[in-house]
Amino acid sequence: MPLRHIQPERYDGLLTEKADHWQSTLSALGAPTANVYPSPPTGYRLRAEFRIWHDGDDLNYVMFSPDQPKDPVVISNFMIASPVIQAAMEPLRLRLQSREVLRKKLFQVEFLSTLAGELLVSLIYHRPVDDAWEDAARQLAADINASIIGRSRKQKRVIGQDWVRETLRVNDRSFHYTQPEGAFTQPNGWVNQHMLEWVTSQTHDQNADLLELYCGVGNFTLPLSHFYRRVLATELSKSATRAATENLALNNITNVEFARLSAEEVTQAIRGVREFRRLEHLRNPLRDYRFTTLFVDPPRAGLDPETLALASSFPRLIYISCNPTTLSRDIEMLNQTHAVSHLAFFDQFPYTHHLEVGTVLRRKSL
C-alpha cells in the first residue's frame, strides 16, 4: 500500500466506497444488506515488517512502492502501526544504528504486537548471529521492553520468548491467545474483536457439533466453543496446531479437539474416502460427531471444489473471507443449495481495496 493512500481524514468516505462496491457485487448473488464494521483510522496494525536500508552510517526502515519497486521509501512515521510498535520503532532504530554487532548485514525487521501491549521484534540477518550478537540483543530487549529474535539461514536465537500473549474481549468474556512468531494472526485486533462478536452472534446450537476448517491458533475456535456441544477444528500448520492446543488449556476449554489436516483431507475423512492416523487421537471418533454447522476462514484462494461439495451438505455455513472475489465465486456455486442470510463487512485493511467479509449461508428447503 503506497503511503500516500493513508488519509485518516478521508477514512469514512473510503470505507463507504469500498463497502458499496462489494455490496453491489454480493447483492447480485442474493445477499442482504451488510453490517459494516470500521477500523480505527490509525494505530490499528498489530504486525509490521520493514526492509532495512544501510547508507554509510545511516540505517533506516524502508518500504518499496509497487510503482517503483527499486526505490526505497524511508519510513519515519508509520501511523497505521499499533501504538506499541510506533513507540518502539525509533528507539530500536537508534540502537541498531549505534551497535555494529546489531546492524551488520541486518536485512529486515518484523514487529508483532498485541492489544495487551506485548511486543516481539524479529531481526533478520544475512550472516550468522553469534554470542556477541546475543549479548547486545539482551541489552536491546531490556532497553525497548520487548522480546527479540535473531534469525539467519538455518539459525534462530531468542531473547525472551518467541511468542506474544494476546487477550481479546468478546461478549463480556476474555479469551487469551498464545501467538507464535511466524504463525498467522489477525493483523487488526480491534476489528478482529468485532469479527468474533459477529460470528458468535450468528450461531447457537449447544445440542449439536461444529466443524471448523483453517482454524489457525484458534482465533475463532475459542469463542465458538461456548455455543456448541463439541467442536472439531482442523489446521495443517504444526506450529499453529500446537499453539491452538495450548490456547485451549490457557482458557480451560474442554469441548474442542484439534486435528492436523488440510481442508481437502477433512473432506476425504468425512466421506470415508481415506483414513488418517492423525485422527486416531480423537476422544470422540469422527462418526460420533453430529455436525450442523461448518465454519471456514480459508486463504485468499477460497474453497477448493471438494470442500465446496462438503459445504453444500451442511445445514449452515459460516464463511469468513479475506478475498471477496473468491467468496463471490464460491457463493455462486453454493447458491444451488444455500442462500445467504447474513452479511458483514470488516475493514481489516483500511486504505486498501481489501475487505474482510462474513457470510452465513443456510440450506434451502428442497
Cα–Cα dist 363/214, whole Å: 22
Q: Please confirm, yes or no, whether 356 is among the known catalytic residues.
A: yes
Q: Count CA atoms within 13 Å of residue 180 on its CB side.
A: 16
Q: Which of 166, 280, 322, 332 is catalytic?
A: 322
In the chain the first and final C-alpha atoms are separated, in Å, by: 46
In the set 118, 212, 257, 356, the catalytic residue is 356
Whether 343 contacts 359, CB under 8 Å: yes
Question: Are 98 and 115 within 8 A, CB to CB?
Answer: no
Largest CA distance in the chain: 72
Identify whether the C-beta of residue 85 lies closer than 8 Å to the C-beta of residue 111. yes
In three-state form (DSSP H/G/I as H, E/B as E, the rest C), the secondary structure along the chain is: CCHHHCCHHHHHHHHHHHHHHHHHHHHCCCCCCCEEECCCCCCCECEEEEEEEEECCEEEEEEEECCEEEEEEECCCCCCECHHHHHHHHHHHHHHHHCHHHHCCEEEEEEEECCCCCEEEEEEECCCCCHHHHHHHHHHHHHHCCEEEEEECCEEEEECCCEEEEEEEECCEEEEEEEECCCCCCCEHHHHHHHHHHHHHCCCEEEEEEEEECCCCCCCHHHHHHHEEEEEEECCCHHHHHHHHHHHHHCCCCCEEEECCCHHHHHHHHCCCCCCHHHCCCCCCHHHCCEEEEEECCCCCCCCHHHHHHHCCCCEEEEEECCHHHHHHHHHHHCCCEEEEEEEEECCCCCCCCCEEEEEEEECCC
Cell of 76: 519515519
**Active site residues per annotation:** 322, 356
